[in-house]
Amino acid sequence: MSQSFQTLDHISTSAVERNRVLRNTYWLLALSMVPTVMGAWLGIATGITASLGGVMGLVVFLGGAFGFMFAIEKTKNSAAGVPVLLAFTFFMGLMLSRLLAMVLGFKNGSELIMTAFAGTAGVFVLMASLSTVIKRDLSGMGKWLMVGALVLMVGAIINVFVGSSTGMAVLSMMAVGIFSAFILYDLKRIIDGGETNYITATLGIYLSVFNVFQSLLSLLGLFGGERD
């Protein structure tokens, strides 16, 4: 009998811990949008990223992103973890400003940005809802999603040199699908107890949300941009 109570107590404790990680992840994800917006605003207002096109832009982005992700991994269990993550999201907003500035150059640029934002929010809500109702283990998706992300990265690097609008459209559509699935995968891992660090969890989900938004905005700019 005592063993049964211990088992129930362990299950209850595990559920509380999973809910705590999920709650903290949602809060930190919401907070991370503030420095993202600030970085994007600064980039647009100053034009600091306007010249970061082609290879130079790719080098700065990859160097900064991987540098920050390494720092986040090293500090995720310390008090510095959250500030480092928020600094990373500011950097990502700064990098996003170049695309935002290009889209704002369209007559309907503001409308396209709001549409991309609404689409991203819709994807997130859908994936979050699915993560709570799907009972099967999705851990097997991880390796396939990583392969997909690597294919996207290689394709994006190649397209920097090729400069194909068609290639960008194809990569953007693939990115929306792959990173939407990543949101579902990461949230399900938290719910199932596979991820116990909310900073790591937030980083993964933030990157997926960022890529879904960026890809939707690219598609809308390519196919829906109206010039004066």
pTM of the model: 0.90
What confidence tens digit (pLDDT) does each residue in 22-72 have? 999 999 999 999 999 999 999 999 988 877 766 777 788 889 999 999 999
> What is the rounded end-to-end Cα distance, in angstroms, of the chain?
76
Q: Are 105 and 54 in contact (CB under 8 A)?
A: no
Nearest to 171 by CA among 157, 186, 185, 182: 157
Token pair recorded at residue 9? 């107590």
What confidence tens digit (pLDDT) does each residue in 87-113 have? 999 999 999 999 999 999 999 999 999
> Could you give the CA distance from residue 85 to residue 34 in angstroms, rounded to a whole number?
12
> Could you give the CA distance from residue 59 to residue 51 in angstroms, rounded to a whole number?
13
Nearest to 18 by CA among 226, 190, 220: 190
Based on the structure, what is the number of domains in the chain? 1
What confidence tens digit (pLDDT) does each residue in 129-166 have? 999 998 888 888 889 999 999 999 899 888 888 888 88
Is it the case that residue 8 has pLDDT exceeding 60?
no
DSSP state of 134: -
Question: Which amino acid, 108?
Answer: N
Residues in contact with 167: Cβ distance below 8 Å, sequence separation at least 6, in sequence order: 155, 158, 159
What confidence tens digit (pLDDT) does each residue in 182-201 have? 999 999 999 988 888 999 99
> Could you give the CA distance from residue 109 to residue 101 in angstroms, rounded to a whole number?
9
Cβ atoms within 10 A of the Cβ of 215, count?
26
pLDDT, residue 228, reads: 67
Structural domain including 178 reads 2-224
Cβ atoms within 10 A of the Cβ of 75, count?
16
Task: Quickly list DSSP for 22-64.
Answer: HHHHHHHHHHHHHHHHHHHHHHHHH-TTTT--HHHHHHHHHHH
> Could you give the CA distance from residue 7 to residue 178 in angstroms, rounded to a whole number?
38
